[in-house]
Structure formats: C-alpha cells, structure tokens
Structure 1
Amino acid sequence: MPRIRIRPLFAAGLLAVGLVVGAQVQDAVSGSDDVEQLRKIEEAYEYISRAYVEEVDSAQLAEDAIDGMLAGLDPHSIYISAEDMRAVRESFDASFEGIGIYYEFIEGREGVDTLVVLMPIAGGPSDEAGLQPGDRIVGIDGEGAIGIDPDEVPLKLKGPRGTSVDLEVSRPGYRQPLSFSIERDKIPLNTVIAHYMVDDETGLVRLQRFARTSHDEVRDAIRDLKAQGMERLVLDLRGNAGGLLDQAYAIADEFLPAGDMIVYTESRHAGNRRQYRAKSGGVFEDSPVIVLVDENSASASEIVAGALQDHDRALLVGRRTFGKGLVQQQFPMTDGSVLQMTVSRYYTPAGRLIQTPYTLGESDEDYGADKLAIREAIEDRLAPDGGLIDASAFASEVPDSLVFQTDGGRTVYGGGGILPDYIVTRDSIGAALRTVIGRNLDNEFARVEIERRGDPFRERWENSGEAAFRTGFEVDDATYDRFLEFASDHGVRVVAERPDGDGGDEAVLVRPEVDAVRDDVETRIKAFMARRLFGADAFYPVIGDLDPTLQEATGLWRDAATLAARR
C-alpha cells in the first residue's frame, strides 16, 4: 500500500485556515514548464491504466501518485482521503462513540506504517483503560496492526457503545507488549479537562486540545477560578497536540493587551503572509501566569506559549515543545478528499521559527527520533541527576542567529519548538512504578476497591464532596495490602527479591521496590478513585501531588510575578 501519512488531530486543527479555490491551483501550474510536467504525469497514468499487464485500480493509482509527490516534502504535507476527512470533521462534533483516541501513523525505517496513539481523550474508554501518548498499537482483536490499511482503522476501533476491542500495545520503555480490552462508549469532547484551585490563590486550567469550544471553555474556567479567589494561573498545555488555530489566537488574546502580536506567518506567496494581533478585553491580562509545556505540546499550543513568553506575559516551565510550525491549507479534491499542503511558516512575535528543522523526505520515525535524541542529550549533560534547568544554561551552545529578545529584554532561544524559561528534566520511573502503570493496576484496583466498599462509601464521599475527599481520604495499610493481592491475582507476581538474571520483568513486583514508591502508588490509587467518584477532572488535583513539573513550577511564582509587574 502507499504510504499515506494521516494525522487526524493536526489535519482537523487546520480546518479553520480555509479551503483553497480551484483558481489558485490553476495559477500554480500556469507556467509552461509546470504544464509540461503535469502532462508528463497524465501520460504516465494513461500508459499504466491502459497497457499494464493486469487491470489496475485507478483510485489507488491516483493516491499512489499523490503520495509519491508528497513524500519529498515536509512531514506535515499529507493526503487525507474523503472518508478520513469525514472522520476529521466528526472529531470536532459534540460527541461520538468509540474508544476515544487521536492517532497518527508513524512511518518506520522499513517504510511500514505503525499506528500510534497521539493522545487518549480525557475521561474516554482508552484513557480509562490506561492507554498513553506514544503507545504503538501492534495488534487489534488478535490480528497484527503493523502496516494496517488506514481505511481499516476506524472500522476496527470505532463502534457502538457497549462493544469491546482488544488491543496489543508496544510502549516505549517496556520490553513486553501490553494488552488492553477497551469497551467502546460515547466520547465527550470537552477540551478543558480540569480546572481547580491548587491552593488559596493559585488556579490551574488544563487544556487537552484546541477545538471549537476551547476558547469559551478556557474563559469560563478562568472566570470560575477568579470567583474562587484565584490571583495567579497555571495554564497546562502539556500533551496538547494542537487543533483549531483560531482558538489559539482567541485564547492567547485573553492574556494580552490590544495590539500585541500573537503570531505571524512568512511565505513566498504574499497572500499567505499574515499577522495576528490581540484585541482588547482579555479576562486575565495583568496577573501572574505560568504555562506548562512538554515535547507533546505542538502547533496551536506553541503559538499560545510562544506569544506569552515573547511578550513577558508568562513564565514557561517544562520541556521544549514539539516544533510544529508549518501552516497548511487544505486543497479540496473533487471526490471529497483533501490535499493538505504547507504554504507558510509560523513565527513567534520575537521572530522565532516554531518549526523544528527537518530533512526533506525523511521518515516520520526519524523526524521524531532526531528531536528526542537532541533533547535528551542536552538534558543528560546539563542535569545528569534530573531537576530544574534555567534556560540560560543553553546560552553558550546557541548561535547568535537563534538568540532572540522578549519585549522586556529577556533572552529566549530559537531552533525549533518553544524552549521554556525553566526546563524540568524527565523523571525515570523505577521498575515497580513501570509495572503498576503499564499494567494499569492502579486504575483497575481503584474500580474494584470502590465496588468492594459499596454504596455507603460512595454516598459518604459524594455527599462530602471532591475537596473533602482530596483532604480526608487516605489509602491505609489494609488497602495497600489488598492492592498487592490484587496485583498477584492479575498476573503480576509479588516477590521478596528480584530473581537472578531478571533485569526488570514487567510481570513482577519486588516488594522492597514497590514499598519504596508506596506513596506514589497510593496517590495514584486515590486519584483513580476520585475520578470514579466525581468524574474525569477529579483525577488531576490528586495526581498533581506527584507531578514534578507542577511542583517545580509552584516554586517560581516570584519570577512570574516579576514579569506581570513589568507590563
């Protein structure tokens, strides 16, 4: 099959850019040489369809030709079939039924596509089952999924609520495949998946993606938190792979005064050079803001983060973002399919190119692996034991061409993606937590434990409320012991010491190792119990106690307040 790279979230996120009329296409091929080369393609098609030894599928032949033309371009110029376009548009409706993931295809080094979870939808079946961004789906209902036809994916994964699908997943950092049985359900598509007060003056808004209602959701969440006494805000964009760009402009506008540049585009075509500026009337233009980002924050997330950083409106904490700064327009084909092609590049207000450098025609896997290797090499060198890195530590390694100044004269760096003001290095979890998380033991035990405790327990805490549960419920010794019994009953051996020659079997919990991270395990169990009692958004205030990026960020409010006072 041809390699048709499909990125449903990125594709859907660019619907707001606008469709391109046929006249523009005609103008693009009006030169004599262009017409001659176009005729060459037509001749090749005619020869193959008429003279090849076997009958050919004309639709497949056309898609092969399109895929071949796109293969030598950037990683985000893609072909989207008519059926996939319908799925893309559907993903921005109020809800649908299925397993609740956004996915993409990553081309491997052998040219074979692998289905990869871009992100599970918060509160959906896949999130509930424990799928994570970056998981590679290698089997569906007992059949191999590597090299699967893209058209088959929605047929296998979507379906009426109540039905189930079995997935086999390869997860980075895990030696053995993981198995999930996921029951399909109706998928709510709220994009603000949590907003709550971290403390008496700090509010947090976690935005999972940018869809049609995102601006309204963020604005309503901020107003609600202000009514609760919020004086400073954490805007969490980690894992947010993008979406509708007009929502990014509108959300950034809520933090910036009228006239401030949000983002601009450059192109060889004058009509694709644009500037987007803030208007008056933002709901949070003056108070301190910290924005959390990571390597999965992309596209629209990078526009918001870059604008707030360049204008000294927010302090950025986390890890360098993905670096998706190419602007696509969608050229509609007569059969309803779309050629989504890069026409310009995004720049932050200070002039930084958001797009990470790439090699024309390189595979998607290499495109991502190169960036990850660079990040990890820098982090390992600057903070070998983990922790917080001030971005100024990069100064001696960055060429002058990639050094930029914010409105207030602070130094920020280009080179692809948005580099935070403070980098929080990756946590390396030990074998015990890797087993607990990878096998979804914490989540599944929470379900069983709530069922075991019955209606009196549920009624007690539902009547007391979420805040009371956060402060009043603890996982006691008896509950912890039941968790270990649960793990043992579900295929994970609990042993006194690691067997000889076992370098980290995910089917084993070594008692001293799991006891060493008992606080983390208990907090995760409590967070999943909160989600089952109060809803998906109740998970995040509890799990925040284990969040190193959030914990590091809360120690930086003096810096954030200094930025806010300068404006």
Structure 2
Amino acid sequence: MHKLSSRAPRLRPSATKRYTASALAGAAVGGALLFGVLSSAVFARASISADTFRQLDLFGEVFEQVHENYVTDPEDGELIKGAINGMLDTLDPHSSYMTAEDFQTMQEQTRGTFAGLGIQIVMDNEGDDKGYVKIVAPIEDTPADRAGVLTNDLIVEIDGEAVLGMTIDEAISKLKGEKGTKVDIKILRDRDAEPFELTIVRDIVTVQAVRWRAEGEFAYVRIATFSEQAEDGVKKAIKKLSKEIPGGPKGLILDLRSNPGGLLDQAVSVSDIFLEGGEIVSTRGRRPRDTLREMGTPGDKLNGKPIIVLINGGSASASEIVAGALQDRNRALLLGTKSFGKGSVQTVIPLQNGLQGALRLTTAR
C-alpha cells in the first residue's frame, strides 16, 4: 500500500504584473493572475530592518563557504535558485519562482496555446498530501484529459523518480516537454490503494476558452479556462445563441466544471456581463492600500433571465470568483459539488524585466 509521508487588462511581455486566481504545467501551472506595472524595485530598502540585512550577510557567508569548500564544484546558479525556492516554499503552495523559460511558457498559456500535458497543478505544503503534485483539474481535450487524469489525483512519481522531495518547479520541468515526447507518471487516486501508472504523450495544447450550444430554449456556455479569450468568447456565444434560439434564450447554463482558473481581469469581465454594476470581487493584502475592489458596469446582457452555474471540485480560482459573484448578488443558482477552494490572488512580478524570470507571489486573499 502506498502511504503518504507527513513531511516534507492584457498581457505584455515586460514590466508587467499579473494576478492569477491559481499553477498550468506544460504540465500547466495557473489560477487568478493579475498583471500590471509592479516591478521588484518597488520593494523599498527602507522597509527592511538592519537585522534582516545581517541575516542576508549570513546567507552570503553560507553561500561563500559552499562555493569554496563543498566536496564537488557546485553550480552557483542552482544554489541561488534552490535558496529562492526554499524561501518561497515556506509561504504557501502557490508562491514560486519562474525561470525566464518558465515565464515565457506562462505567458503562452494565458494566450491559450502551449506544449505539454494540459493539467493545472499545486503542491500542498501541509496536510496528508504535502509534498506531492496535486491535480487541480485537467484541461478538457488535452493529453492529460484523454488519459483519464482527474481532479485531486496525486502524481507521486515522474519517469521513475519520486516526486516527494522535489519543488513544484522541479516537478513541472520534468512534466513539460516537446510535442510527441512521452512522460511516465504514477498516479495515486484512492489514498488507501496502490498508485497506478500512466504514459502520456505530450502535445500542442490549444485551449478553446469558450464553447456554446443551444439546449432547447436555453443557452449552454462552457468556459474551460479564463484565458485572454474568455470575455470575448462569452459575449460572442450570447450574441450567436440569441439569434439561433427563436425569441432568444429563456435562460443560461454556465458550465465552470473543471475550470482551473486563469486571469482575474477576465473573471471580473465575465461576471460583469451578467450583473447590473456594483462590486464583483474584493481582495485584501496585508496593508490597507493593497485592498482592491473590482466594480462592474451597468448592463446585464441577459436582462435578468435565470442563470444556473455548474461547478465541481475542479472549479478553482477565477471560476470561484465568477460563481461567487453571481451567487452573492442573487443572480445565479449554483449546482454541483464543492469547488476547489482557492481564495488567494497571485501577482506575477517580472525580475529584471523578465530576463531573470519572474516571481509568482500571493499578494491578496
């Protein structure tokens, strides 16, 4: 029996920050992202105490000793990356460092096309699943989805190497790869059973953010991910279905099942389509000035017609923002099972204009 150990606005390529309401690994790592103009330079040195600088001196001394005296010649870049990952691992499962390559991949993912497996993952830093790669949701019609990967599956082994002890970035680097290459993984689904093996062939993942169809007199709209195409896709769906259904749809079924999240601005914009203005979502950071209130604009595109929102355990981050906003305003009825439960916002902060990668940091809840 396999036992779990108890240890363990629009995208611009530079000078931006983006908030993700979740991780897509080529695998795919993701959530509610938000990009803006925050750079690492905004963190003023004046806010760092003298004691902290002394501790940084300690780090520098340890680094120097390792560099000069370790039994083999270490790679300095790997030492620094390991130290950064170790620091972020103490915070939460969603904060992480991205190399320049990873940062570029993330930008491709938000545009809806990338190479990989098509899964969104996290790595818990507490609880029974600590230290393992957990599936938030497979993206529909991707290699992982076709292989039968499910929400809350744990990846315990990648190409014969145990996941326990890896960082999430290390796991992602092993999961992603070129189109046509294979990856062997072991999946633990029933926590009291043995893991089983899957071989998945990586492919180009093109995520169609929005699909729609008429269901009798009702409109059915499926949002697979909150990429940059989500808002325009929903508006297009409503326009076409209003012409296709005689007299227009009598109501809407909005399907957010197994939608792992995406861009915060897209979640706000999609919610605004069905609301008559007012507050859609608010986030709070550790300082009062970090409080963010996203307001809608007047004009419900469905003119008050009933909405049912479908959710499940794979509905995370930006999906939960939309479902929660429509429910809280008594605009929609939620049907399904308990959603994933990710109530935080990550800011993507490019480092040295992205040349040194980026920091994905939880900045609000």
TM-score (norm 2): 0.79
Distance apart, 1:184 and its partner CA:
3.8
Gaps of 5+ in 1: 346-567
1:204 aligns with 2:204: no
| Counterpart residue type for residue 252 of structure 1 | S
1:22 aligns with 2:60: no
Cα distance change of structure 1 residues 78 and 324 upon mapping to structure 2, 3 Å threshold: same
1:120 aligns with 2:142: no
Distance apart, 1:288 and its partner CA:
0.7
| Counterpart residue type for residue 290 of structure 1 | I
Q: 2:256 maps to what in 1?
A: 237
Q: 1:343 maps to what in 2?
A: 363
Alpha-carbon contact 2:317-2:342 (below 8 Å) kept: yes
Q: Distance in 2 between matches of 1:301 and 1:197?
A: 22
Q: 2:339 maps to what in 1?
A: 321
Indicate the percent of aligned positions where both proteins have the same amino acid: 35
Q: 1:195 maps to what in 2?
A: 212
Q: Distance in 2 between matches of 1:190 and 1:28?
A: 46
CA RMSD of aligned residues (A): 3.2
SS in 2 for 1:250: helix
SS in 1 for 2:270: helix
Distance apart, 1:257 and its partner CA:
0.9
Q: Distance in 2 between matches of 1:157 and 1:22?
A: 28
Alpha-carbon contact 1:17-1:328 (below 8 Å) kept: no
| Counterpart residue type for residue 308 of structure 2 | I
Distance apart, 1:261 and its partner CA:
0.3
SS in 1 for 2:338: coil
CA distances 1:401-449 after superposition (whole Å, capped 9, x unpaired): xxxxxxxxxxxxxxxxxxxxxxxxxxxxxxxxxxxxxxxxxxxxxxxxx
Alpha-carbon contact 1:137-1:145 (below 8 Å) kept: no
Q: Distance in 2 between matches of 1:139 and 1:32?
A: 43
SS in 2 for 1:91: helix
| Counterpart residue type for residue 124 of structure 1 | T
Q: Distance in 2 between matches of 1:166 and 1:46?
A: 38
Alpha-carbon contact 1:19-1:330 (below 8 Å) kept: no
Cα distance change of structure 1 residues 298 and 102 upon mapping to structure 2, 3 Å threshold: closer
CA distances 1:118-141 after superposition (whole Å, capped 9, x unpaired): 322212233223222233334555
Cα distance change of structure 1 residues 213 and 28 upon mapping to structure 2, 3 Å threshold: farther
1:146 aligns with 2:199: no
Q: 1:7 maps to what in 2?
A: 23
Q: Distance in 2 between matches of 1:22 and 1:96?
A: 27
Cα distance change of structure 1 residues 295 and 164 upon mapping to structure 2, 3 Å threshold: closer
CA distances 1:9-33 after superposition (whole Å, capped 9, x unpaired): 7964455333522331234644434
1:301 aligns with 2:327: no
Alpha-carbon contact 2:24-2:30 (below 8 Å) kept: yes
Alpha-carbon contact 2:213-2:220 (below 8 Å) kept: yes
Alpha-carbon contact 1:208-1:240 (below 8 Å) kept: yes
Identify the structure with bigger relative contact order (alpha carbons < 8 Å, sequence gap 6+).
Answer: 2
More strand by share: 2
Q: Distance in 1 between matches of 2:62 and 2:364?
A: 31
1:218 aligns with 2:229: no
Alpha-carbon contact 2:312-2:338 (below 8 Å) kept: yes
Distance apart, 1:220 and its partner CA:
1.5
1:90 aligns with 2:108: yes
Q: Distance in 2 between matches of 1:257 and 1:316?
A: 19
Q: How many residues were matched structurally? A: 336
| Counterpart residue type for residue 146 of structure 1 | V
Cα distance change of structure 1 residues 336 and 110 upon mapping to structure 2, 3 Å threshold: farther
SS in 1 for 2:111: coil
Q: 1:32 maps to what in 2?
A: 50
Alignment of 1:391-540 (within 5 A): none
Alpha-carbon contact 1:257-1:282 (below 8 Å) kept: yes
Distance apart, 1:244 and its partner CA:
0.6
Alpha-carbon contact 2:136-2:316 (below 8 Å) kept: no
Gaps of 5+ in 2: 1-7, 9-21
Cα distance change of structure 1 residues 158 and 234 upon mapping to structure 2, 3 Å threshold: same
Alpha-carbon contact 1:205-1:218 (below 8 Å) kept: yes
CA distances 1:307-338 after superposition (whole Å, capped 9, x unpaired): 11121111222233333222222333345232
Bigger radius of gyration: 1
Alpha-carbon contact 2:219-2:251 (below 8 Å) kept: yes
TM-score (norm 1): 0.53
More helix by share: 1
CA distances 1:93-117 after superposition (whole Å, capped 9, x unpaired): 3433443333344558799843343
Cα distance change of structure 1 residues 111 and 84 upon mapping to structure 2, 3 Å threshold: farther
Distance apart, 1:196 and its partner CA:
2.5
Cα distance change of structure 1 residues 112 and 119 upon mapping to structure 2, 3 Å threshold: closer
Q: 1:416 maps to what in 2?
A: none
| Counterpart residue type for residue 287 of structure 2 | H
1:70 aligns with 2:88: yes
1:134 aligns with 2:152: yes
Alpha-carbon contact 1:330-1:341 (below 8 Å) kept: yes
Cα distance change of structure 1 residues 19 and 328 upon mapping to structure 2, 3 Å threshold: farther
Q: Distance in 2 between matches of 1:107 and 1:8?
A: 18
Q: 1:103 maps to what in 2?
A: 121
CA distances 1:248-292 after superposition (whole Å, capped 9, x unpaired): 01000001113x100112233344222110013442241111212
